[in-house]
Amino acid sequence: MKVTKKIALASAAALAIVGISTSAHAAPLAVTVAGSANTTTSTYAGSQAVAVPSSNVIDAGHTVALAATADTGTVVSFVASSVKLVVALDSLAAPKTVASGVSSYSATSQGTAITVYAYTTSTSVGSVTITNGSYSTVVYIHGTSGTIYNVAVSLPGAIATGTIGTVTALATDVFGNPVESSAVAVTLVNGTFSDLSTTKTLTTATKAAADADTTGATVWGSASYKLSPATGSSITAVVSTSASITPVTGLATPVTTGAISVSISDLNATIASLYAQLATAKSALDAEKSGRAVDKVASDKAFADAKALATTALVTEQTAHIADITITNAKYKALVAKYNAQAKKYRFAAIK
């Protein structure tokens, strides 16, 4: 009986130890991305692709399902960067738009997978960090562009007469992401393309073409074409698309046409004008120098004349003073002589 009780106590103790060990070493966090194990990386090619929600509806076709399984009673957190999260997809009862998402979400595991849905409006790579206790994993996501929604056109900031410029057309989706392989019409006013035509339909470059071009001349979602040598005073480029574009409720109004004008500068005329301005400035400077030289001559002469007059006056004054002294001395000597004569006659001291 005692042996049986000891065995039971030992078994209970062993089970308790096993239970403590199991609790202290929880199973790793398990995460799936769109139903598969997470193998994403931070590169564009290695991240999970998902279509941007161009219709402003957050549904299954524009989200990535992230499912995290963890021990019951533990907290699982999702923190997004350049990505948004929702815990339920769009429905008639609870519509979901691009404004519905949040940047973080936490929930306590009930022993089954916790699922959130990630979406992005950008083609740049974003991330969602999923954490459970000491376990953590990062899912990388990038968006794929929607259809053409906006067009734009650009010209060089300055074009000189006779130089060859480039016109560039750009196509973007409703969120401003580059749209590739889209036809964009460009018409020139007061100018021509290098083949002397005035209207062209350009096709925007693919990401693959842009990535392959090491010179950087090819830009994803844009198309460029050389112009003929510039003439006249200005050139205008007008861009448009023939695509059927329907405004999306809750998002920006589409831009289906645009224009830009740039002045054409005549370098020869500009240089001639600058030379003329320089000549005028030099003439003014020379005149100023000449005027100052004349002033200096006049100033020097006035100084010399004043000095001469002062010297003459001083000499005249000195001469007059000497004459006065001479006369005074003569008078004094005459008086002394007269006095001494009387002193001798009357026998009193003479003045030497």
Q: Which tokens go with 114?
A: 């916790």
Whether pTM exceeds 0.85: no
CA distance 314 to 321: 10
CA dist., res. 98 & res. 7, Å (int) = 64
Judge whether 222 and 183 are in contact, CB under 8 Å: no
Q: What is the pLDDT of residue 15?
A: 38
- Mean pLDDT, consecutive 10-residue stretches, the chain (352 aa), reads 44 40 57 97 98 98 98 97 98 97 98 97 98 97 98 95 96 98 98 97 98 96 97 96 96 97 79 78 86 86 87 85 85 80 79 76
pLDDT of residue 306: 87
> According to the model, what pLDDT value does residue 258 have?
97
CA dist 252 and 275 (Å) reads: 51
Cβ-based neighbours of 61, under 8 Å, separated by 6 or more: 51
175-192 pLDDT tens trace: 999 999 999 999 999 999
